[in-house]
A = this chain, B = another copy of it.
Amino acid sequence: MSALTHIETPALLLDRDRLDANIQRMRNKLAAFNVVLRPHVKTNKSLEVTERLFAGGRGPITVSTLREADFFFEAGFTDILYGVGIAPNKFAHAATLISKGAQLKLVLDNLDTARLLADFAQTSGHAFDVLLEIDCDGHRSGLGPQSPLLVEIAQLLSTRGVRLSGLMTHAGKSYDSQSIAEIESCARQERAAIIDASQMLAAAGFNMTIISIGSTPTALFTKDLTGVTEVRAGVFAFFDLVMAGLGVCDVQDIAVSVLTTVIGHQAEKGWIITDAGWMALSRDRGTARQAVDQGYGVVCDAAGQPIGDLIVSSTNQEHGIISLRAGTLEPARLLPLGTLLRILPNHACATSAQHGGYHVLSEGRSLGYWPRITGW
């Protein structure tokens, strides 16, 4: 792996071949359905990665911040869904994007926000496009699919000149599934909730043009998307140990890893000390609640092959402690000082966010550096 020896550690690596295979898998899965893929770019926050999601094109995207919306709009992406309930202090920012030509879609799930947005639209003269958020599984935000507020909000928006173009939901509970059968059940529930809500609105005279669902687990295991118009998913492009723990992917599919160096040992404890702490790995411990707890990440050699039962068992800001998952590593098996290792992340979104960009590799060769954006 001579491409790695000139990189100062810690650093984020991206295997482009795995990335491309992961994208192709989602494309293949969705090809059986009459839906558009609107990938969530919060995982990658990178122009180069997002371009590969569309084979160089400029398709519809989902963003988690208006900073992402700004960045991708400047790069030519116009159809943008901002997937977090809009806060009043972001109305003006959203309006600026729309006035520049972005087909920006905002999300809300309550009457107060609808009223405030309508007020802002009226006084500022801006036209907004809104999706209502549906709560399909009690995971986080959204209105229940039977909530009478859906029709109330639709009526308020229609009388106040704000366009209501659709519904969106996210099966966040699918991340807690214990089996593929449970993921399939989450997928049915996700679709059922949004279809129920859209039928209630249709009965009240409000026809939705966008019916947007999505999570990586449900998107990859759904069997029926009748009535759904688009799928949002993000982590599928990179995958991670949480996804592998769910059975959604294999550990060998994970496209991002953190390159680190052995900087010391505590031989009598069986510890290997590295220069990748939580600043490089993130504090995410998403596998802690899964059947196999992967600590702060699975330890691989420089070529990306997992090394026995080694995990990152503890982290400080710029120090990682590697040990055997159970028991004590024999001194003979402590990796030599200076050894380069790759750590597979619990959560690709969280780990990638700790880095300014990706050192991109293909079959061990360097393809350069792809920068990421940060902030709000």
| CA–CA, A58 and B319, complex, Å | 27
> Would you call A110 an interface residue if the criterion is a C-beta within 8 Å of the partner chain's C-beta atoms?
yes
Whether A316 pairs with B172 at a CB distance below 8 angstroms is yes
* Copies of this chain in the oligomer: 2
A60 within 8 A of B: no
The complex places the Cα of A269 from the Cα of B142 at a distance, in Å, of 13
Residues on the B chain within 8 Å of A195, using CB = none
Q: Say yes or no: is A10 at the interface (Cβ < 8 Å to chain B).
A: yes
Q: Are B317 and A141 in contact (CB under 8 A)?
A: no
Which B residue's beta carbon lies closest to that of A113? B337
Contact A112 B283, beta carbon cutoff 8 Å: no
State how many residues of chain A have any CB contact under 8 Å with chain B. Answer: 62
Task: Name A's interface SS.
Answer: loop
Closest Cβ of chain B to A5, distance in Å, is 7
Is B279 touching A112 in the complex (CB atoms < 8 A)?
A: no
User: Does A26 make an interface contact (CB < 8 A)?
Assistant: no
Give 15 A-B pairs besides A85-B273, A88-B261, A282-B283 with Cβ atoms closer than 8 angstroms. Answer: A8-B66, A8-B90, A8-B376, A9-B89, A9-B376, A84-B275, A86-B263, A109-B264, A110-B265, A112-B336, A116-B337, A140-B319, A140-B321, A141-B273, A356-B374
Q: A residues near B, CB below 8 A? A: 5-11, 42, 64-66, 84-90, 93, 108-110, 112-113, 116, 135, 138, 140-141, 172, 261, 263-266, 269, 273, 275, 278-280, 282-285, 316-319, 321, 336-338, 349-350, 353-356, 374-376
Question: Can you show 27 pairs from A to B with CB atoms below 8 A apart?
Answer: A5-B89, A6-B89, A9-B87, A85-B263, A85-B273, A85-B275, A87-B275, A88-B261, A89-B261, A108-B264, A109-B264, A110-B265, A110-B337, A112-B337, A116-B338, A138-B269, A141-B264, A141-B273, A141-B319, A172-B316, A282-B283, A283-B283, A283-B350, A285-B285, A317-B349, A317-B350, A356-B375
